[in-house]
Structure 1
Amino acid sequence: PAAAGEASVCGNANAWTGCAENTGSGVDIGGTKHKSDSSGDNNSGDNYSSDDEADADDDTCPSPRPCYEVGMREDHPAVTLSDLASFTPAKPNLSGEPDGVGVVGMPTNIVARAGTHEIPGTLFEYDVVVRFTPSAFRFDYGDGSSRTTSTGGSSWEALGQTEFTPTATSHVYADRGTYDVSVTVLYSPAVSFGDGWIDIPGTVAAMTGGYGVRVVEVHTALVDKTCIENPAGPGC
C-alpha cells in the first residue's frame, strides 16, 4: 500500500488492489498484491493473493473497475433539483371546518395533510430512491391573504379546542362570499443510491386547490318558535 500522503496506482509493482461486491445479504471484499515481473532470486515466492488456494487465473473482482480505497463510499453524480424533474411528489389533501362553510369575523380552520414519502426510479442510469419531506405549507385563502407555516394544521377536536377558535392555519374572513382556498407544500428532497441519503438543496412544490369556502354572516334574534315550527321565521 502507498505510504501516508502518497497516491497508489492500480497495477503498479508492490501495489494492493481490491474489490467489494454487495450480495444483498453481505459485502464480499477481495484483494491482490502485485509484484514486479523482473526476474531474480529476490522475487521467488513473492506472488501474494487474498486466498492462498485461489487459482492464478481467477478474476479478483466479478467485473473490472478503477482503483479505489476499500471502505470508501463510491462516488455518484452530483444531483440538483432540475435532475429530479421526473420525480413528482404527492399533492396534499385539503379540508376545512366547518366543512365548506365559514362565518364572517370568526376563524375558519383550514387543514392540509402531507407526509414524508419515497419514490424509486432511475437517475443517470443508476437505481435511485428520492425521498420528499414536507418542510413548509403555504396557504392561500382566496381573499388575497396567505400564510406560510411549518405545519399543515389539525382539527379543533385533535387540538382540544372548541369550534371557531384560532389555530396555526385558520383564517378570519371579513366579508361574505365564496372563496377558493389552496395550499402548496414545499418538500425538501433527498436521494439514495443505496449507500445513504444525500440532501438536495432547495425545495419542490406540490399544490392542491379547488376547496371552496362559503362565508356567511350570523345574526342573533329572539324568536318565539323554532324553524321547524315556523319555517318562515327569522333566520329560517
Structure 2
Amino acid sequence: MRLIPLLLLASLSLLPAALPAASGQCDDVGTWGSTCDADSDGTQVDVTGTREPPGPGGGNDSPDGDGPPPGDDETAEPEDCGPADVLCRDGYTVEVIGEVTASDLVSFVPAKPSFTSEPGGVGLVGMPTNFVAGASEQTMTGTLFELPVTVRFTPAAYVFAYGDGASARSTSGGTAWTTLGQPQFSATPTSHAYASRGRYVSSVSVEYAAAVNFGAGWRPVNGIVTATAGGQTVDVYEARTALVDKTCAENPSGPGC
C-alpha cells in the first residue's frame, strides 16, 4: 500500500501553557518529523507538521507500531483502472473524450437546404438554367457518448447534380438572376445548360463542417455531414426562330403562330 505524507493542522484553545505544550510535541521528532512548528497569534496556537511514512520495522499504521498490517505490500502496483482513455488518481476517474468523427453524429441531422431553379422549372436547350440553394449555420443539443453536447453545422460546399449526368461543386448556393441584376438565361457560377430537350430531376447536397462542445469549448469533427434536397424537375425545350415579314397578329397562319 502506497503511503502518502499527511499535512496535519491542530488548533489549541488559548491557555497559558498551550504554546510550551505544543512546542514539546514538536520535540517528539519520531511523531511529527523535523518540519514541526508551533506558534501563536494571541488567540490560538497552531501546530503544523508533516508526518513521515513509517520505515522498515516501524511506523504508525499498525496497532503495535511494528509496520504495516499483515498482507499490505508497500511496493504493490496501482490498480489497473481499465482502458487507456481512463485515468485513475487516488480513487478518482477522469474520462478523456477521444476524436469525434462524422459517423458519431448519426443522431444529429442538419435541415435540408432550400432548392429552386429558374426560370420557373423550365429551360431551353443550350441556354443556362440557373440553380439556387440555401443553407445556414445550425446548432442543436443532445447527448453524445452519454454526455450532454452542443453540435454546430456550418455549410462548407454545395454539390449540384443536374440530372443529365453533369454536376458542379461550389462554395456558395448560387444567386437569383434578379439579385445579380442579370437577364434570364445568363450564365452564373451554379447554372447549367442542357444539351437536349427532356425532363430532368436535379438535386443539391450541402456538405457541412461540424464541431462539438461538451462544455469546455468547440472541437472540430473529423469528416463531413451531408444533407440533400432533391426532386427539382426541370423541363427543357427547344427554341426555334425564323425570319418572317409579318407578325403573328398580321399573319396568324405564319411560321410559329
TM-score greater than 0.5 by the shorter chain: yes
Question: How has the CA–CA distance of structure 1 residues 46 and 234 changed in structure 2, closer, same or farther, with 3 Å as cutoff?
Answer: farther
Q: 1:42 corresponds to which letter in structure 2? A: C
Partner of 2:138: 117
Question: How has the CA–CA distance of structure 1 residues 123 and 176 changed in structure 2, closer, same or farther, with 3 Å as cutoff?
Answer: same
Q: How far apart are 1:46 and its partner, in Å?
A: 5.8
TM-score (norm. length: structure 1)? 0.67
Partner of 2:215: 194
Partner of 1:42: 36
Partner of 1:181: 202
Partner of 1:5: none
Work out the CA distance in 2 between the residues paired with 1:135 and 1:76.
25
Partner of 2:110: 89
Question: How has the CA–CA distance of structure 1 residues 12 and 67 changed in structure 2, closer, same or farther, with 3 Å as cutoff?
Answer: farther
Question: How has the CA–CA distance of structure 1 residues 194 and 163 changed in structure 2, closer, same or farther, with 3 Å as cutoff?
Answer: same
Deviations 1:25-65 (A, max 9, x none): xxxxxxxxxxxxx6479165367xxxxxxxxxxxxxxxxx9
Q: 1:127 corresponds to which letter in structure 2? A: P
Aligned residues: 182
Partner of 1:148: 169
Question: How has the CA–CA distance of structure 1 residues 206 and 106 changed in structure 2, closer, same or farther, with 3 Å as cutoff?
Answer: same
SS at match of 1:82: helix
Check whether the contact 2:99–2:221 (CA below 8 A) recurs between aligned residues.
no
Work out the CA distance in 2 between the residues paired with 1:76 and 1:177.
53
The list of structure 1 runs, each at least 4 consecutive aligned residues, that deviate by more than 2 angstroms after superposition, is 11-14, 38-41, 43-47, 65-68, 74-78, 220-227, 232-236
Matched, 1:80 2:74: no
Matched, 1:161 2:182: yes
Partner of 2:224: 203
Check whether the contact 1:132–1:187 (CA below 8 A) recurs between aligned residues.
yes
Which consecutive residues of structure 2, in runs of 5 or more, have no partner in the other structure?
A: 8-30, 39-45, 49-90
Which consecutive residues of structure 1, in runs of 5 or more, have no partner in the other structure?
A: 1-10, 15-37, 48-64, 69-73
Work out the CA distance in 2 between the residues paired with 1:79 and 1:85.
12
Partner of 1:170: 191
SS at match of 1:202: strand
Identity within the alignment, %? 47
Deviations 1:157-196 (A, max 9, x none): 2122222111110001110001000111111110011221
Partner of 2:240: 219
Higher gyration radius (CA)? 2
Q: How far apart are 1:201 and its partner, in Å?
A: 1.5
Q: Which moved more, 1:194-203 or 1:95-104?
A: 194-203
Check whether the contact 2:99–2:222 (CA below 8 A) recurs between aligned residues.
no
Matched, 1:106 2:127: yes
Question: How has the CA–CA distance of structure 1 residues 66 and 141 changed in structure 2, closer, same or farther, with 3 Å as cutoff?
Answer: same
Question: How has the CA–CA distance of structure 1 residues 137 and 223 changed in structure 2, closer, same or farther, with 3 Å as cutoff?
Answer: farther
